[in-house]
Amino acid sequence: MSTGAGRGDRPSPATDGTDGRHDQNDLDVDGPRLDGSETAQTLAMSDEDLDRALAAPPRRLGRGVLVLVVVLVALVAAAVAFSAGRLSAIGTTTPTTTSAEAGFSRDMQTHHNQGVEMAMIVRDLTDDDAVRTLAYDIATAQSTQSGIMSGWLSVWGLPQYGSEASMTWMTRPGLDGTGHDHTGKAESAHVPGEPMPGLATQDQLDELSAQSGVEAERTFLTLMIAHHQGAIEMAEAVLDRSENPVVTTFATGVVTAQQSEIDLMRDMLAERGGADDGEG
């Protein structure tokens, strides 16, 4: 979440042997041309006018436009993941439909999709630039990652929806023969079919949608901190169960990025008079 050349910069010399010279045909372009007076008027724009134009606040994206952007990003990510996955699959055992990799891919898509939903809700409820920027970053990043995981399943020749209940893969032993539970207990803390870690309830989403301003910001940050903590738990679970390099690299990135955002959101929440439970 670079600047171009200034108006006084000289053009780079040509590298095609023409010494930068062009005839009239080289300069033909579609569209209206500027005559001498229009060109002079354009070049006569004062520095003050130029600065004012550059400093103008960006137009706010409507929710419909943002939805389109998020969908397009996810589709592109899925296509890229499909291509990359085919190459990386060489020499790697293809996951089965009941594997930890497949279960993680399906469940984390569901988890991320709710994160996108919450982010888009709060963007309509506040004018705070910091919260809106964070929400936009979350929406685009998590929609991209959902597309990547959808692409994996396509590469592996697996259905997007499994026959087992959600989180079933998290109840199975890890590579070391024990269950995933970072509290130190050997048994799994998860039950197949129950809500995934950190997911907001429908009542909580309805509460967020009914709020505005700082109140909505506090609710959003509180819910999203818990949501990120749940995503980290799921990513750590697949790290305990997978040796697939594509999946483990992705999951490690999720842990790092979402922990960083948790730290940021805790600071933002404190600035708005709220507090979370401090776990994770």
Residue spans per domain, the chain: 63-86+98-271
> What is the average pLDDT score of the chain?
79
CB within 8 Å of 47: residues ≥ 6 apart: none
pLDDT at position 280 is 60
pLDDT at position 8 is 43
Query: Looking at per-residue confidence, does 156 or 79 come out higher?
Result: 156
**Given a cut of 50, is residue 13 above it in pLDDT?**
no
pLDDT range class, residue 181, cuts 50, 70, 90: low
pLDDT range class, residue 203, cuts 50, 70, 90: very high
- Cα separation, 141 vs 279, in Å, equals 24
Query: Looking at per-residue confidence, does 226 or 2 come out higher?
Result: 226
The most confident of 8-17, 77-86, 87-96, 151-160, by mean pLDDT? 151-160
CATH superfamily ID and name for 63-86+98-271: Ferritin, core subunit, four-helix bundle (1.20.1260.10)
pLDDT at position 52 is 52
End-to-end CA distance of the chain: 25
Q: CA 55 from chain center: how many Å?
A: 27
Query: Looking at per-residue confidence, does 171 or 23 come out higher?
Result: 171
Burial class (CB in 10 A: 0-12, 13-18, 19+), 226: buried
Query: Looking at per-residue confidence, does 58 or 193 come out higher?
Result: 193
Report yes or no: 241 and 100 within 8 Å, Cβ to Cβ.
Answer: yes
Lowest-confidence region among 73-82, 171-180, 192-201? 73-82
Query: Looking at per-residue confidence, does 84 or 201 come out higher?
Result: 201
Q: What is the pLDDT of residues 93-152, one digit of tens each?
A: 999 999 999 999 999 999 999 999 999 999 999 999 999 999 999 999 999 999 999 999
Q: What pTM value is reported for the model?
A: 0.68
CA distances to 8, 212, 222, 272 from 218, rounded to whole Å, are 47, 10, 6, 7
Q: What is the pLDDT of residues 210-253, one digit of tens each?
A: 999 999 999 999 999 999 999 999 999 999 999 999 999 999 99
pLDDT at position 276 is 77
